[in-house]
Chain A
Amino acid sequence: MTRVIVIGNGMVGYKFCEKLVAASSKGDFQLTVFGEEPWPAYDRVHLSSYFTGSDVDALSLAPRSWYEENGIDLRTNELIVSIDRKLKQVLSHTGKVMAYDKLILATGSGAFVPPIGGVEKKGVFVYRTIEDLDAIMAFGKKARSAAIIGGGLLGLEAAKATMDMGLNTHVIEFAPRLMPRQLDAAGAAVLKSRLEELGIAIHLNKNTRKIHGNGKLTGLEFADGADLSVDMLVISAGIKPRDELAKTCGLPTAARGGIIVNQNLQSEADDNIFAIGEVASCQNMIYGLVAPGYEMASQVVNQLCGKTSRPFLGFDMSTKLKLIGVDVASFGDPFGESAPSRTIVYENKRSGIYKRINISPDGKRLLGGVLVGDAQAYGMLLQMTQNSMPLPPNPEDLILGSRGGKESGGAGLEGLPAEAQICSCENVTKGDICKLIENEGLSHVEEIKSCSKAGTGCGGCVPMVNDLLKMQLKTLGRQVKNNLCEHFPYTRQELLDLVKVREIKTFDQLIDQFGQGDGCEICKPAVASILASTWNELIIRQDTIQDTNDRYLANIQRGGTYSVVPRIPGGEITPDKLIVIGQVAKKYGLYTKVTGGQRIDMFGARVDQLPDIWEELIVAGFESGHAYGKSLRTVKSCVGSTWCRYGVQDAVSFGIRVEERYRGLRSPHKLKGAVSGCIRECAEAQSKDFGLIATEKGWNLYVCGNGGSKPQHARLLINDVDSETVLKYIDRFLMFYIRTAEPLNRTATWLNKLEGGIDYLREVVVNDSLGIAETLEREMEFMIQTYACEWKEVVNNPQLRAKFKHFVNDDEGDPSIAFQEMRGQKIPASW
């Protein structure tokens, strides 16, 4: 058994383990991995997403159990401090000594911190690990402004992060332009103005000389004498390979850092030692990207397993910047310097788009280029460059796109050779993916990702994998199939049809007849929604298939209490009802807040208090607001013609009518509506699933908009229709959506996937091209007629009421609930 030790459990170190496990049989190797960080290897490329989720697990490349199951001894939180090459053993900071036959150095790199006076001050950070981000987040809470030193790839990502934290953000770049390694001057200028529009201040040609502050930084001083006062600094000025171990044991390192290795990634000084990833210096190059690191890992695995392995001869450094809100990509030879070339440039200053391609003098091959503002073509252009594909007769079409007429549509995917590398991180070719689709019957991007690993690295190729999947399925004449989960081999739409046709009323009937196993947290709520949208029966009769919120008819909060949101249709409320809300909140000690949906939320109720609270609200004339359900939430209104000097229709009255029409309607995701009294649009109807804007003649109906994390404007479905007609169209539209959408797809997402888009939708809803309008209206009429307030039923039914208890064997409430105070109200104790 060969003893292999890997130092460094980062992205490349992990990839090495994964590949070695896959390529060898149990017993060939005894693998030990040392990682300095406290957690198993995680996805550093998507580190910035930690800002939104703060979930280490979500970034993890594999759980600890994976290492265990594969017989790998993973030792996190353990730093290797020296290597004894004579005895072939390593020493960790805990004093542990361990011997190896082969040693893999995958120690990556750290942030390069330039020698500026004052870098040790409080408030100065680097951007490399989860711990760095924790520190930045904690400090950022108290800061108002931040500067980033370095206007490269990572610096800009850090800038976006501090901007999202609400800080005034400055980027300081030494060079005369942003991303000097990837962009030319014109492209960088466009990027600069786009970032300035986003609110990021850019300072070029700035050499930071000193960091001011007494213990904690207060500002920066530049070589040109200028000053900038900031509360926080993130240094992102490049990387520095962690070659310190190699140095102390006498392995040759490069002048600019990095362990010198040959084409086999082996140190010339010791052929039992390999270096891979960002710490390896190969032909005097350090590769600061994952794809080349992964390629190195696989080369070394092949050598250890005695398989043929290609020598490592450099790697393409094309990149696409993610996350920043502006598309930026650079591929092949971006500057056209490596060979004689001709350059074609397209620039639109108004819309902030810059595209450049460099082609060979004979106009036959693409050598590289730069894209700013619109990088949609990146995947395809990169492929053309790497595969020397023939160019169209007018190469400018590549960046100008289809001028006039319909989109040229995926131009070139078919033309790609089978050996074209689609995913460079995992080295997966077009041929590999097509074979999986054809031979293994894969029909889902997630399946392709897990079988081939394509798209699991930097994720840049996922759109292309998606297109490839669609293309291949079409060629094979197969349909794209989205099975709900392991328990049902059907799509949501198929299950809905089965429920209707077979008159299935319960989850158990459905899983007995058409499914397998016991169900799960994915299929249960989806089926619950289908049953509710079809039969409209009281949902808590089958309470255990509902998501928690629907099970207790209230939204669960941090700490395990619930919120209470009565319906306030159209946002209109009488003073008397306002008083009742105040009295109830006071009596039960609830926190109150006006919501973003024009109503009032009362937070902090224990589960056993919910029925009592609702009883009092119902007596006062309130009903459930369904804030907990995947169902209609609110229909926002503006005062409209009753009070407003511009209003042309009575938006409040109509808003109330619409809200009461669809209240309680269950759907694949939540639904929101709005009614504005005139074109000034104070009710924001164009950001709702369905929105009405009053005109002199009636209403304009907009559909499929939403706010949330991916805001999308609603699209005009029809204009100037009267009140009765517009309700008819909304009936049809909502029912068509309920019938055909996948679980948890809002209307906007659904529309984006609907072939034919808004034009097709208009055909179906307005022109009844499918001949189903009458059925849809009838189904909606049934839902409207059978509506009943769920809370009213619970309050009046002792059996249902009994479900609202914390302990089944004790009347006490949950003793672990704890609150603290804030601005005179209570909030949950922090978690």
Chain B
Amino acid sequence: MSAKLEKNQTTANSQPTTWFKAAPVSALPENGGACIKYKDLQIAVYNFSRRNEWYACQNLCPHKMQMALSRGMIGSQGDEPKVACPFHKKTFSLKSGKNLNGDTCDIATYPIKVEDGYVYIGFEE
């Protein structure tokens, strides 16, 4: 179980060395998420079109180790952008990766940018 968890490491606050060209913006739903494959990682990508912001995090929900977060509903709590896991509605901040309604461990988040109609996710190799 922990092996699954350790695959994803937060790089949101560091300087990414690789920008992975993930998908055209048009492939991602508005105000919702989708899943991106990068090597053997699964990354959830969210388009907050209402606030014109993008977020990325691990697709794995640490609660019951389900590859599911990209299918979760997104929203906000106060100003904090968040996602709710479809399985048991654990919600996670997409900024800090913290579990907002419980004690489940943090999720990894990744830097993300949009250029020329494409979404890029940053990794530290």
Contacts and interface: CB of A to CB of B under 8 A. Distances in A.
Interface of A: 39-40, 55-58, 60, 63-65, 486-487, 508, 511, 517-521, 523-525, 543-545, 547-548, 551-552, 556, 558-560, 803, 806-810, 812, 814, 816-817, 831
Given A518-B48, A521-B73, A547-B73, 11 more contacts: A487-B76, A518-B31, A519-B76, A523-B75, A525-B73, A548-B71, A548-B73, A809-B37, A810-B37, A816-B67, A831-B65
A807 B36 contact: yes
A57 B74 contact: no
Interface size of B as a range: 35 or more
Interface string B1-39: 000000000000000000000110001111111111100
Contacts of B36: 807-809
Nearest to B31: A544
Given A560-B67, A560-B68, A544 B23 contact: no
Contact of A63 (B29, B73, B89, B103): B103
B29 A543 contact: yes
B32 A544 contact: yes
A636 to B, nearest CB: 29
A40 B64 CA distance: 20
Given A63-B103, A544-B32, A518 B71 contact: no
18 contacts: A55-B88, A56-B103, A57-B103, A511-B50, A518-B50, A519-B75, A520-B75, A525-B73, A548-B73, A548-B86, A552-B71, A556-B87, A807-B35, A807-B36, A809-B23, A809-B37, A816-B42, A817-B67
Contact of A57 (B32, B50, B82, B102): B102
Given A57-B103, A552-B71, A808-B27, A520 B64 contact: no
A691 B66 CA distance: 39
Closest 4 CB pairs of A and B: A544-B32, A548-B86, A520-B75, A521-B84
Contacts of B87: 556
A520 B65 contact: no
B91 A808 contact: no
Contacts of A525: 73
Nearest to B73: A521
A810 B29 CA distance: 16
Contacts of A560: 66-68
A60 B102 contact: yes
Interface in B80-119: 81-82, 84, 86-89, 91, 98-99, 102-104
A39 B34 CA distance: 34
Contacts of B28: 808
B72 interface: yes
A807 B37 contact: yes
Contacts of B33: 544
Given A63-B103, A808-B34, A518 B68 contact: no
A520 B29 contact: no
A803 B73 contact: no
B111 to A, nearest CB: 18
A524 B73 contact: yes
B121 to A, nearest CB: 10
B104 A57 contact: yes
A317 B65 CA distance: 44
Interface string B38-76: 000010010010110000000000001111100111111
B29 A544 contact: yes
A130 to B, nearest CB: 13
